[in-house]
């Protein structure tokens, strides 16, 4: 496996990869790319059930995430174990993500848009999503590629600077590229269905996604489904 085949997905919570970019992940995995998830939290606050401890919920959601990743063909899932709901773009977290980038050596990093506060008139973007996007972008450039950032990673851990070539920003306010996921839409839904603690009615969710992800330029009798990103090519 070469670095040109590797993709690193850095997002905040279990189920974020499937929601943000599950079809793209499935398509790329099917084409032979090696996909690694790095999730900042274990989703320990993703429930309103007061009888469920954060520890129990985190364990449930980690199992669900690994099952969903398997459906999509993901190579590896790692958790940085930040507290759900409390993620901040700190220097310590930036260092942790730089470490992962230098270990995985991906050509492409997928993360989310730190500037998108209001994705719609009915939803406020989770603070963890915005923090995840900011800290990941800061890790990609310039920190991961420069020996002067976090020199202890090279001096003590042998992790040399590494240049990511492309970033795909999911949930972007201003996307500039689409990925056709029509053949992988059902696989995306199947992966989401593994998140049983979060999704109570997968049929209703599928109907909403078909409306939201429908390519408006596709003919009515041959619908095409897409995921949108802001693609950044780094030099």
Domains of the chain, by residue range, sit at 3-233
The pLDDT value recorded for residue 12 is 98
Instruction: Check pLDDT > 90 for residue 9.
Output: yes
DSSP code at position 56: H
Give the angle subtended at the CA of 213 by the CAs of 207 and 214, to the nearest 5°.
90
Report residue 210 CA to chain centroid gap: 20
CB count in 10 Å sphere of residue 58: 21
| Averaged confidence pLDDT in the chain | 96
Say which CATH topology domain 3-233 has: Rossmann fold (3.40.50)
Compute the 3-state secondary structure of the chain and give helix, strand, coil in percent, each to the nearest 5. Answer: 40, 20, 40
Among the listed ranges 11-25, 84-98, 109-123, 145-159, which one has the minimum average pLDDT value?
Answer: 109-123
| pLDDT tens for each residue of 86-116 | 999 999 999 999 999 999 999 999 999 999 9
| pLDDT tens for each residue of 57-74 | 999 999 999 999 999 999
The pLDDT value recorded for residue 123 is 84
Query: For 42-57, what is the mean pLDDT?
Result: 90
Query: For 147-170, what is the mean pLDDT?
Result: 98
3-state secondary structure of 213: coil
Percent of the chain's residues with pLDDT above 70: 99
| pLDDT tens for each residue of 160-183 | 999 999 999 999 999 999 999 999
Give the span between the Cα atoms of 13 and 94, in whole angstroms: 17
| pLDDT tens for each residue of 20-47 | 999 999 999 999 999 999 999 999 999 8
Instruction: Check pLDDT > 60 for residue 1.
Output: no
On the 0-12 / 13-18 / 19+ scale of CB atoms within 10 A, 219 is: exposed
């Amino acid at each position: 496996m070469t670095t040109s085949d590797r993709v690193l997905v850095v997002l905040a919570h279990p189920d974020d990869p499937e929601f943000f970019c599950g079809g793209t992940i499935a398509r790329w995995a099917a084409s032979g790319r090696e996909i690694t998830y790095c999730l900042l939290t274990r989703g320990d606050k993703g429930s309103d059930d007061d009888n469920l401890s954060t520890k129990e919920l985190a364990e449930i959601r980690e199992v669900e995430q690994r099952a969903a990743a398997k459906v999509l063909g993901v190579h590896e899932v790692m958790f940085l174990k930040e507290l759900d709901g409390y993620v901040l773009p700190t220097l310590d977290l930036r260092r942790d993500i730089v470490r992962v980038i230098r270990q995985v050596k991906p050509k492409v990093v997928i993360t989310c848009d730190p500037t998108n506060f209001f994705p719609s008139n009915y939803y406020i973007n989770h603070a963890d999503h915005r923090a995840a996007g900011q800290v990941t972008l800061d890790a990609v450039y310039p920190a991961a590629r420069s020996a002067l950032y976090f020199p202890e990673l090279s001096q003590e851990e042998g992790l040399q600077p590494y240049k990511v070539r492309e970033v795909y920003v999911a949930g972007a306010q201003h996307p500039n590229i689409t990925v056709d996921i029509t053949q992988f839409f059902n696989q995306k839904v199947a992966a989401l269905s593994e998140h049983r603690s979060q999704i109570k009615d997968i049929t209703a969710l599928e109907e909403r996604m078909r409306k939201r992800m429908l390519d408006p330029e596709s003919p009515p009798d041959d619908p095409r489904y897409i995921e949108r990103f802001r693609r950044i090519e780094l030099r």
